C-alpha cells in the first residue's frame, strides 16, 4: 500500500509516519521509485503498537526506541529481552531516600520473595522501585510486612505466569518482544483500572 | 519545632518547604513572631505524604493540590472523596481512538463488571481508561474476553476490599483521604513491581 493508505489504515497522520520513518521507529517500505515506497501489514501493525505504547501505555518515544532496538539486536538472547524491556519501563528511583530505610525495605522484600519462591536477580530495577515504595509507606506509618507483600504477590502470580507463557513455542523474535511489552504495559493498565473500579465498588458498599 | 527542624525531620529542603507554604500545599505554622512560626508532627507527616506522592507515586503537585483541597472541603461527603481522588489520578484518554472500537470495549467491560458483581458508575474515569486499553489490545490482535477481565478483577478483589476498609470507624477526614490516596497510589506501585518480578521469575523458569 502507499503511504497515504498506510496512514488511513493505522489512523496515524502522514506527518507522524514520516517522523517515525526518519527516527527509525518504523522500518522503511520497499522502494518503488525515486520518492515512493510500498508498505504492508507489518507497517500497519508496528504503527498500532507505537500508538498503543504512547497513548495508552504513556511510554516515551525514547523508551519505545530502546525496546524496539533490543528486539532487533540479534546479539541479545530472547530470555534477556524481558530484562531490557523492564529496564526501559522502570522509573528512576528517588534520590532523596534514606539508605537505611531502603535497606530495611529490601530485607522485607527478600523475605517475601523467598516465601513466594520467586527466583529473581536482586539487582532487578523492580526490586529497587519496590524498596523505595515500601520505605515511603513506612515513613507514612503503614506497616508493610513480608506477609503482606506475599499476599499481593500471590494474587497476581498465576496471571503473570500466563502473561509470559508466550515464550514457549517458535514465535519470531519481534513477536515475542511485542507480547512481553504489550503484556507488561497494557495489562498493567487493565489491572490498575480494574483495581480502581474494585475500590469504587467496595467503597460504595460501605458508604 | 522551627522551620529548620521541620526541614531536618522531613528531609525536605527549606526552599521547598517555603514553596509548599506559598502554594498552600503545607498549612502555615503557628505564628510566634513577625517572621517566625512553629511546626508540629502534622507538618512533618504532610511533607512525607507530598514526598511519597511526588517521588514514588509520580503525581504532579497540581494533582496533589486537587486531592488535598478535596480532603479539606467539608462540603464534599467522605464517600465522594474516593471519586475526586481517582479523577485526579486518571490519565487523559487518547483523542485518536475509534469510537466504535471503544464502544465495543465498553460492552465487554459491562459484561465483566456484571459477572464480578461490581456496582460502579459507568461514567467512572477508570471505565473510560479501561475501554481505551481494551480497544488498543484488540487493535494489536489480542483477544480480550469478558472472562479474561473477570479473572484479573477476581485476582485483586479481596485486596481492594481490604484497601478501602479504613472507611469504617471514626478516623478524621484527612486521615481517611490519605489512606485512600496512599492505598491507591503506593499499593498500585507495590502491585506493579511485584508483577514485574513475577514476570522475571516465570520467564527465567522457562528460559
Note the pLDDT tens digit of each residue in A82-120: 777 777 777 777 777 789 999 999 999 999 999 999 999
What pLDDT shows up at residue A105? 97
CA-to-CA separations, B118 to A146, B108, B160, in angstroms, rounded: 30, 14, 12
Beta bridge partners of A30: A38
Contact B63, B88 (CB under 8 A): yes
Q: Compute, in degrees rounded to 10, the torsion defined by CA atoms A43, A48, A52, A53.
A: 0
Residues from chain B contacting residue A186 (CB–CB below 8 Å): 133, 136-137, 142
Which cell is B104 given? 465495543
Average pLDDT over residues B178-191: 84
Query: What band does B85 get if pLDDT is binned at 50, 70 and 90?
Result: confident
Beta bridge partners of B31: B37
Which cell is A83 given? 530484562
Query: What band does B206 get if pLDDT is binned at 50, 70 and 90?
Result: low
Q: Compute, in degrees rounded to 10, the torsion defined by CA atoms B66, A63, A101, A142.
A: 40
CA-to-CA separations, A49 to A45, A73, B37, in angstroms, rounded: 6, 18, 55
Query: What band does B30 get if pLDDT is binned at 50, 70 and 90?
Result: very high
pLDDT at A79 over 90: no
Choice among A176-190, B41-55, B76-90 with the minimum mean pLDDT: B76-90
Average pLDDT over residues A24-41: 90
Reduced to 3 states (helix: H, G, I; strand: E, B; else coil), residue A183 is helix
Of B139, B140, B182, the CB nearest to A140: B182
Q: What is the ipTM of this complex?
A: 0.85
Residue A158: closest CA among B127, B137, B195, B206? B195
Note the pLDDT tens digit of each residue in B87-132: 777 777 777 778 999 999 999 999 999 999 999 988 888 999 999 9
Choice among A2-11, A77-86, B26-35, B108-117 with the minimum mean pLDDT: A77-86
pLDDT at A141 over 90: no
Of A153, A161, A202, the CB nearest to B160: A202
DSSP letter string, B19-50? HHHHHTSS---EEEETTEEE--HHHHHHHHHH
Residues from chain A contacting residue B98 (CB–CB below 8 Å): 11
Reduced to 3 states (helix: H, G, I; strand: E, B; else coil), residue B169 is coil
pLDDT at A207 over 60: no
Residues from chain A contacting residue B140 (CB–CB below 8 Å): 45, 48-49, 52, 178, 182
Return d(Cα A49, Cα A28) in angstroms, integer: 16
Return d(Cα A12, Cα A53) in angstroms, integer: 14
- Comparing alpha-carbon positions, the chain B residue that sits nearest to A191 is B152
Return d(Cα B168, Cα B164) in angstroms, integer: 9
Return d(Cα A158, Cα A168) in angstroms, integer: 16
Q: Which residue has the cell 495508552?
A: A56
Q: Name the burial class of residue B199, with classes exposed (0-12), middle (13-18) and buried (19+) by CB atoms within 10 angstroms of its CB.
A: buried
What pLDDT shows up at residue B154? 95
Reduced to 3 states (helix: H, G, I; strand: E, B; else coil), residue B144 is coil
Q: Tell whether B163 lies on the interface with A, counting CB pairs under 8 A.
A: yes
Note the pLDDT tens digit of each residue in B138-179: 988 888 999 999 999 999 999 888 887 765 556 777 777 777
What pTM, to 2 d.p., does this model score?
A: 0.84
Contact A154, A116 (CB under 8 A): yes
If one compares B37 and B69, the residue with the highest pLDDT of the two is B37
Q: Which residue has the cell 478516623?
A: B171
Amino acid at each position: 500500500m502507499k503511504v497515504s493508505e498506510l496512514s488511513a489504515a493505522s489512523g496515524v497522520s502522514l506527518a507522524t509516519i514520516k517522523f517515525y520513518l526518519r527516527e527509525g521507529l518504523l522500518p522503511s517500505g520497499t522502494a518503488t521509485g525515486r520518492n515512493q515506497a510500498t508498505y504492508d501489514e507489518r507497517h500497519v501493525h508496528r504503527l498500532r503498537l507505537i500508538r498503543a505504547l504512547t497513548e495508552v501505555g504513556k511510554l516515551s518515544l525514547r523508551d519505545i526506541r530502546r525496546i524496539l532496538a533490543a528486539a532487533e539486536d540479534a546479539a541479545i538472547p530472547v530470555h534477556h529481552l524481558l530484562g531490557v524491556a523492564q529496564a526501559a519501563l522502570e522509573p528512576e528511583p528517588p534520590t532523596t531516600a534514606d539508605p537505611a530505610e531502603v535497606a530495611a525495605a529490601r530485607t522485607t522484600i527478600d523475605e517475601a520473595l523467598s516465601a513466594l519462591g520467586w527466583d529473581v536477580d536482586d539487582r532487578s530495577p523492580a526490586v529497587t522501585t519496590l524498596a523505595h515504595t515500601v520505605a515511603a509507606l513506612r515513613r507514612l506509618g503503614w506497616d508493610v510486612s513480608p506477609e503482606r507483600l506475599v499476599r499481593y504477590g500471590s494474587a497476581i502470580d498465576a496471571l503473570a505466569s500466563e502473561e509470559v507463557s508466550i515464550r514457549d513455542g517458535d514465535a519470531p523474535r519481534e513477536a515475542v518482544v511485542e507480547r512481553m511489552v504489550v503484556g507488561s504495559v497494557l495489562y498493567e493498565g487493565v489491572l490498575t483500572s480494574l483495581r480502581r473500579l474494585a475500590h469504587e465498588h467496595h467503597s460504595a458498599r460501605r458508604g
